[in-house]
Amino acid sequence: MFIFLLLLPLLSSFVSAQLPLPRPPFQPADPSAGAVPSSGTPNPQWISLLGNLLYFYEAQRSGKLPSTNRVSWRNNSALDDGKDAGLDLSGGYYDAGDYIKATYPLSFSLMSICWGATDFGKGYDLASQTAYLDDMLRWGLDWLMKAHPNDTTLYVLVGSTELDDAYWGGDSNLPTPRPSYQINNTYPGTDAAAGASAAFSACSNLYANRLFNTSSYASATLQNSSYAQTLLNHAQTLYTFATNARQTTYQTSVPAIKESYGSSSYEDDLALAALFLSRASESSDLYRDAEAYYDKYELSKQNRVFNWDSKGPGLPILFAQVAQSSSKTNGNFSKWQIAAERYLDDIVNGKSQGYMTKDGLLYYDGDSDSASLNPALNAAMLMSRYAPMASTFDKKTAYLKFAQSQVDYALGKNSMSVPYVVGSNPNSPQNPHSALASGGNNVSTIDTSPKEEAYVIYGAVIGGPDKFGRYFDLRSDWPQTEVALDYNAPMLTLAAMHVISDNKDPFFTALQDGAYEKVKPKGLPCDAAFPEGCNGPHLSKGSKIAMGVVITIVGLTIIGLITYYVYLVSTRKKRAFMGP
């Protein structure tokens, strides 16, 4: 017995150990390979895209990099994070094109990826990317556990947003100080605590192999019961913290995060946390709690976009999945099927609060302005996830068709001929807004120094085109070119699904080098970085002069015709008056 107790920590470490990484490691191919058609099942180009999308997260790592690091131009960074709080908060991921670490959007990203890998995880297996999925998830989840050092404390921000916004440079000399901000019982944050709980529960489900309907979905094979239980423990304590502390949005306690990732509500986070936890613990009480939140806070009215700040549209779909998969929760599948289809039908039939741009992107004024692809790709992800549960074959077909149109758009079937995933094709973005990859060191010369991006941040999904469908490829144009953890999340799930089910190439293989240059727009974008460009497409100076000349000539012609008409009328009146 004594020997067993001595061996227990070793055994526990063994069962919670992550999957061994491939040798030799996967490395992204040159972008030129994305213009070459492929064949085979699973499709090689979808496999490559899935690998690249995961690779992006490795490029976003903070802390001491492991010996298995594949991104040669990255360095150890922010090793002292958390020291001001007496903790080790090094590690984790930089949130976007800069160097802060923000728990709320990280939690959403991890939740979304784990949910997707529970649905379509077989795609990671077929692509030999499951070990990298495991590696990527643990890098985020292990940090999130460090950020939750006790039951009623969660660190929600590391870094100074003001210093970070003013810094444009590499990862070796980040500006300091990098303060650590927490929520707790005295200064709570319901949304952030509930959001982190949902992430832990969703990922616990994945590692415990708690599938949804197995006839429709196939999880990734990275099951690990010990790790799943550890994640579940954090999920439960965070949910208790979220429900027992004074309920408020977390930026009321941590104003420093307001401009970057301020939350608009906490009610949807509570419902999501309760729902994922109900599945993880097979609890009918938690399922009823989630339904109560949904009804009490009228979350059916949260029917615009699904993203880090708005979980409402995804709730009916998750409710339906849990009700269909677990008899213990006593869920009403038909109720949630109706609710899910009401939301999805409105999008497909053009009756939602979004609209289709002229070149085919689902767009929501306001929500899409700072990252146009994200709402569309999240909608495509929800539709692809729900389609197997659709009430009719026609609805299933319509959802999959619409989802495919948005995936195709993001991968190059758009008016710019740009696949909006860095490194996937010669026409992919060349100048993403990434301080890590740019090679520049002066924010005032962000677009010109260096002339070409120093490093290719493979697999990064960028913000996307403006509402007119135009893409300008400017580093300073952060709404169009910035990279972010949550931008990649829906595309990961969609790519995994395509590895499983699609033997056709992604659209970008049809695009040859130079396609974007032929249609690259002039003038300025229309977005928050360039509001002066929002009066529609701009003409060049020569075109304006030519237009002015044409208008002048047309105007003089019209005046001449009017004068001649008046002359004729007056002449006829005189003749009529004078008689023959």
Residue among 429, 423, 422, 412 nearest 507 (CA): 412
Distances (CA, A) of 240 to 151, 198, 236: 8, 12, 6
Which alpha helices (H) appear in 455-503, and where do they start and end?
478-481, 485-501
Which are the catalytic amino acids?
Answer: 473, 482
Q: How many CA atoms lie within 13 A of 441 on its CB side?
A: 6
Token pair listed for 435: 């301080």
Token pair listed for 69: 């690091």
Residue owning tokens 């995933």: 421
Per-residue b/e over 182-197, b at no fewer than 16 CB within 10 Å? Answer: bbbeeebbbbbbbbbb
Dihedral sign for Cα atoms in the order 447, 449, 452, 453: negative
User: Angle at the Cα of 452 (from 48 to 543), degrees rounded to 5?
Assistant: 105
d(CA 391, CA 205): 26
Dihedral sign for Cα atoms in the order 429, 400, 56, 466: positive
Amino acid at 571: T
Helix (H, G, I), strand (E, B) or coil at 77: strand
* DSSP string for residues in 159-191: S-HHHHHH--S-SSS--S---EEEEESSS--HH
d(CA 294, CA 87): 37
Enumerate residues 6+ apart whose C-beta is below 8 A from 576.
none
By the 10 Å C-beta count (0-12 exposed, 13-18 middle, 19+ buried), 175 is classed as: middle
Amino acid at 155: Y
Which alpha helices (H) appear in 412-467, and where do they start and end?
435-438
φ and ψ at 166, to 5 degrees? Answer: -85, -10
Distances (CA, A) of 21 to 56, 132, 143, 228: 16, 7, 20, 20
Q: How many CB atoms lie within 10 A of CB 408?
A: 17
Amino acid at 270: L
- The answer to whether residues 259 and 218 touch, using CB atoms and an 8 Å cutoff, is no
The CA-to-CA distance between both ends of the chain, in Å, stands at: 133
